[in-house]
A and B are shown apart, each in its own frame.
Chain A
Amino acid sequence: MCDQTFMAITFGPCDNCSTTSPLMNIYIKNEPTNYCSFCVEMMACQGLLKGETLASLKNESESLKKKLEEERAKLHDVELHQVAEKIEVVSALSIKTRRVLKGHGNKVLCMDWCKDKRRLVSSSQDGKVIVWDGFTLNKEHAVPMPCTWVMACAYAPSGCAIACGGLDNKCSVYPLSLDKNENLAAKKKSVAMHTNYLSGCTFTNSDMQILTSSGDGTCALWDVESGQLLQSFHGHTADVLSLDLAPSETGNTFVSGGCDKKANVWDMRSGQNVQSFETHESDINCCRLYDLRADREVAVYQKDSIIFGVSSLDFSLSGRLLFGGYNDYTINIWDVLKGNRVSMLFGHENRVSTVKVSPDGTSVCSASWDNTLRVSRALGMPWLLVLYSLT
């Protein structure tokens, strides 16, 4: 066995054989350990079963990939939009912008709704995180962060705290107090620590746990109170840019999307990657729908006239509408079942960075690089409003 040259950051006694030599920092079952290069080689060979070599493993992985594709193809008996041909077309939507939230000094990168359906939290490149009352346009809290590019923010389910993070590689939780004069920044609690920027964060069903995704390629589940890492999720081979929890209250899965063009579904308790979808090609200027039980892509939402990428998307409450925020400053609304575009929302003067539907499904909020947020809502009878304004 030829020992190849490697760059050693540590020199000392090996954790396995105790000989003093240059050490490799490796992770065994998520625990960092330092082994000398000889022990690493021995361990790798012990992991192999009888007769397994690198070549045989490669062959097995190729044949397994082929088998996966065959299995998935067998079930592809019909397209989603074919099944949906018989249902009624979505009637003309009258979704219009009802509120414009101005106040951020720079690009708004992320936003989240509070469960009370009226408050929102938004974070910006200027390092500020603002909690708004969506009805009155009041800014209830403004928290300065020590870093710029606050790329992720989330509202706690109780409405009593917010979490945010970005280039500081951390996710911090701020309890919101009713006292307007209180300095929120003083009560900051650092919960998550990553080795690269924080791209997304969300509370799980309670205020006690936070799920984060990071540019270091991992996602992690943290306990808010102690700041302890409960579970980490390894599998992406590039930056993880977004994540979302499964909607059910008893659900234990979440999905993450990364720069490796994969969408991975994870089991939160075991840390296992249970499903993976990889049909996106290059930068994303279309939306794809993957069915978890059929384990394949079932619909693509794209148009030749749309040449800019999608940065964010969200479903309406029934799942019939898909709102996508695009880099051409618009929001396209797609019919999920039939696959066609139903409507568009205009108004932003720069890229749309985040789109989120409110918890009660009545409004959709979009955050943009034009420093504003827009809350849009549907009207049942638009002509009645015109009458009111004339009298």
Chain B
Amino acid sequence: MSGSSNIIAMKKVVQQLRLEASINRVKVSQAAADLQQFCLQNAHQDPLLTGMSSSTNPFRPQKVCSFL
């Protein structure tokens, strides 16, 4: 039993590796440049990065109102 299951397992591993070896890859410099461009393009729309003004922040601490 162990002999045949080893063979089946090894076949799977070899098939998987063949698949992975055949994919198209891009250079890291290219990939890094694209990552950087995406981050910079979307940076102004990222509230955690740029902060938001207090008036539009629904989570701001509640101010107490008093009647004069």
Residues of A within 8 A of B (CB): 1, 3-6, 24, 37, 40-41, 43-45, 47-48, 54, 57-58, 60-61, 64-65, 67-68, 71-72, 75-80, 83-84, 87, 90, 93-95, 98-99, 118, 134-135, 235, 272-276, 291, 293-296, 298, 316-321, 336-337, 357, 360-364, 375, 377-381, 384-385, 388-389
Contact = CB atoms under 8 A, between A and B. Distances in A.
Contact of B51 (A54, A58, A134, A379): A379
Contacts of A276: 16, 20
A77 B17 CA distance: 24
B33 A83 contact: yes
B28 A316 contact: no
B59 interface: yes
Given A40-B1, A77-B27, 14 more contacts: A1-B3, A5-B1, A45-B7, A58-B10, A75-B25, A275-B20, A293-B31, A317-B47, A318-B43, A318-B49, A319-B39, A320-B42, A362-B47, A362-B52
A316 B32 contact: no
Contacts of A98: 57, 59-61
Contacts of A5: 1
B68 interface: no
A273 B11 CA distance: 15
A41 B3 contact: yes
B25 A294 contact: yes
Nearest to A360: B47
A62 to B, nearest CB: 10
Could you say which of A6, A294, A385 has the most chain B C-beta atoms within 10 Å of its C-beta? Answer: A294
Given A64-B18, A319-B39, A48 B27 contact: no
B15 to A, nearest CB: 10
Contact of A77 (B18, B29, B39, B61): B29
Given A68-B20, A135-B58, A378 B49 contact: yes
Nearest to A81: B32
A321 B49 contact: yes
6 contacts: A45-B4, A64-B21, A318-B39, A318-B42, A337-B36, A360-B47
Contact of A135 (B29, B36, B59): B59
- Interface hub of B17, B29, B48 (most chain A Cβ within 10 A): B48
Contacts of A84: 32, 36
Max chain A C-beta neighbours (<10 A), residue from B5, B10, B27, B40: B10
B1 A94 contact: no
